[in-house]
Amino acid sequence: MSNDGLGVAIRRGRLRVENSVPAPERAIRILVLSGPSGSGKSTVVNRLIQTTTLPIEKAVSATTRPPRPHEQNGVDYHFLSPEEFETKQAAGEFLETAEVHRTGHWYGTLRSEVERAIGQRRWSLLEIDVDGAAEVRRAFPGSLLIFLKTKSLEEYESRLRGRGTESAEVIARRMQTAAAELTRAADYDFQVNNDDLDRAVGEIVGIVEEREAQIDAGSV
């Protein structure tokens, strides 16, 4: 499979890029953003996409959970039935999948989402959990991984309760998961504090710009 003559193809978790293509265009531009529930990932991603001049395209995740109010299919998520998700999983259409927070709902990144962006020489932005990030790093060691966090566990809980969308039981599970995820923050290339939205987005932009410059210089 190829896109626009770039010779980019995904096969069993790998991107193959033809050596005849110049190095900056062969580069695997995958940006992974992770962080506990309540760290503001979606808000940061939306602001980043809306304001940056960098060539970044969000990879829309697939999920089996029901849509929340105002969420749009194909924009916020690809909403799939459990049967549809299992079929795509069996067919190898996902780059990574995970059952999140022991809710019974599955999430995954479709290979086609990543392939399209890279085929257009754009950054593919994945908003995924720490397990999914580890899968992506194993498949693509050159991926750029950023961990988003707040100042304390109490802040995560306050933000989750402020949503008004989860039960106390679900919030408790998410807090347990958050504590575990924070222990893996050191596995990421960078950690960004999201105590100020504009500052956090600006820091992420700076990180990506630096990596893009390294790609252009052929140093990565």
Model confidence pLDDT, tens digit, residues 125-138 = 999 999 999 999 99
Annotated ligand binding at 38? The verdict is yes
How does the average pLDDT of the chain come out, rounded? Answer: 84
Asked if the structure places residue 98 within a domain, the reply is: yes
Annotated ligand binding at 218? The verdict is no
Does the pLDDT value for residue 42 go beyond 70? Answer: yes
What pLDDT, on the 0 to 100 scale, is given for residue 21?
35
Asked if the structure places residue 1 within a domain, the reply is: no
Asked if the structure places residue 3 within a domain, the reply is: no
Model confidence pLDDT, tens digit, residues 22-33 = 344 557 899 999
Which residues on adjacent β-strands are paired with residue 98? 107
Residues whose CB is less than 8 angstroms from the CB of residue 117 and which lie 6 or more positions away in sequence, other chains included = 29, 57, 59, 123, 124
Asked if the structure places residue 2 within a domain, the reply is: no
Annotated ligand binding at 81? The verdict is no
- Using left for φ > 0, alpha for ψ between -120 and 50, and beta otherwise, residue 178 falls in alpha
Asked if the structure places residue 145 within a domain, the reply is: yes
Asked if the structure places residue 121 within a domain, the reply is: yes
Distance CA 58, CA 149 (A): 20
Is-above-0.85 flag for pTM? Answer: no
What pLDDT, on the 0 to 100 scale, is given for residue 36?
85
Question: What CATH code is carried by the domain that includes residue 86?
Answer: 3.40.50.300
Asked if the structure places residue 35 within a domain, the reply is: yes
Number of folded domains that form the chain: 1
Annotated ligand binding at 41? The verdict is yes
Annotated ligand binding at 37? The verdict is yes
Nearest residue to 108 (alpha-carbon basis) of 120, 124, 92: 92
Which residues on adjacent β-strands are paired with residue 10? 15
21 within 8 A of 171, measured Cβ to Cβ:
no
Q: How would DSSP label each residue in 8-33?
A: EEEETTEEEE-TTS-HHHHS--EEEE
Domain encompassing residue 49 = 8-217
What pLDDT, on the 0 to 100 scale, is given for residue 6?
32
Annotated ligand binding at 219? The verdict is no
Asked if the structure places residue 102 within a domain, the reply is: yes
Annotated ligand binding at 42? The verdict is yes
